[in-house]
Amino acid sequence: MKSVFSPLALSLVIAIAGLGLLNLDYAASVPAAATADYHYSTLHSRDGIGKFYLGREIAKVMSHREMLWLERPSREIQEQPDRLMASLGLQGTEIVADLGAGTGYFSFRLAPLVPQGKVLAVEIQPEMLDALEFLKQENGLTNVETILGTAENPHLPEASVDLALLVDAYHEFEYPKEMMQAVYRGLKPGGKVVLVEYRRENPLIPIKALHKMTQRQAKQEMAAAGLVWQETQEFLPQQHVMFFEKPLESRV
């Protein structure tokens, strides 16, 4: 019997089904182009922006409309914030930047650990900073400062930061190269970057692929900004805790 589908129609059906299964999307508005640092593809994950850095597709920014998700009680068990804070080895006088601070889930846990220092909570969404400011007033915290950054620049004071913490945020930076170059400039020589990302090596961690990173990818991207990997601590159930350093002998 003759097939009701022509070979061309059949190929089209298979291709469309394939895109769905692979969670791929076709965004006609994104130009298929490349720059020295980034490349763009019209065929990309529906969780991503069609822009790739060192082979990794950048995830969509989590909207401020979902901010309650950042305050969900289950984070205490899933992300064990107290253990993360303890791993940072803060002495009390440091300037700490919380990059992609959201509602301040980590900023407010950092603040009591640096009573003679301060926390710079950096965000690109003013609505997140509004929520953070509200919680700061409610809790009477005086050593948290908010900074409205841009997608390319966290507006940190030059060579002033002891430690930059990025939890579940870096993978959605639209300009990761420019951001990390700016972070590098903001760090003191010997200053640290602590990058916390869900383990992409593990397919069983129930988080969207673009919201996870492999250690290999993270190290490659931090190295591109001049940051030297020191160690990775694997005490959290689902996330890597990766420590990088701006070399002591570096230029500011």
Ligand X SMILES: C[S@@+](CC[C@H](N)C(=O)[O-])C[C@H]1O[C@@H](n2cnc3c(N)ncnc32)[C@H](O)[C@@H]1O
Site string for ligand X, 148-187 (x = CB under 6 A): -x-x--x------------xxx--xx-----x--------
Question: What's the per-residue H, E or C state across the chain?
Answer: CCCCCCHHHHHHHHHHHHHHHCCEEECCCCCCCECCCEEECCEEECCEEEEEECCEEEECCCCHHHHHHHHCCCHHHHCCHHHHHHHCCCCCCCEEEEECCCCCCCHHHHHHHCCCCEEEEEECCHHHHHHHHHHHHHCCCCCEEEEECCCCCCCCCCCCEEEEEEECCHHHCCCHHHHHHHHHHHEEEEEEEEEEEEECCCCCCCCCHHHEECHHHHHHHHHHCCCEEEEEECCCCCEEEEEEECCCCCCC
Minimum distance from residue 169 beta carbon to ligand X (Å): 4
- Residue 147 or 223: the one with the smaller Cβ distance to ligand X is 147
Query: Is the Cβ of residue 91 or residue 150 nearer to ligand X in the bound state?
Result: 150
Which residue number, 97 or 114, has a Cβ lying nearer to ligand X? 97
Q: Which is nearer to ligand X, 13 or 52 (by Cβ)?
A: 52
Q: Which amino acid is at 43?
A: L
Is residue 193 within 8 A of residue 177, CB to CB? The reply is no
Tell me which stretch binds ligand X (CB under 6 A): 23-31, 33-41, 124-132, 156-164. 124-132
Cβ of residue 85: shortest distance to ligand X, in angstroms? 13
Residue 27 C-beta-side C-alpha neighbours within 13 Å: 17
Site for ligand X in 21-80 (CB under 6 A): 61-62, 70
Stretch that binds ligand X, among 34-42, 43-51, 123-131, 217-225 (CB under 6 A): 123-131
Stretch of 4-12, 26-34, 95-103, 131-139 lying at the interface with ligand X (CB under 6 A): 95-103
* Nearest distance, CB of residue 12 and ligand X, angstroms: 37
- Closest distance of CB 236 from ligand X, Å: 12
Binding positions for ligand X, 130-149, rule CB under 6 A: 149
Among 49, 50, 53, 100, binds ligand X (CB under 6 A): 100
Contacts of 138 (CB under 8 A, 6+ apart): none
Among 49, 56, 121, 123, binds ligand X (CB under 6 A): 123
Q: In this structure, are residues 101 and 162 in contact, taking their beta carbons and an 8 Å threshold? A: no
Total residues at interface with ligand X (CB under 6 A): 23
The nearest distance, CB 230 to ligand X, in angstroms, is 21
Binding residues (CB under 6 A) for ligand X: these are: 61-62, 70, 99-102, 105-106, 122-125, 128, 149, 151, 154, 167-169, 172-173, 179
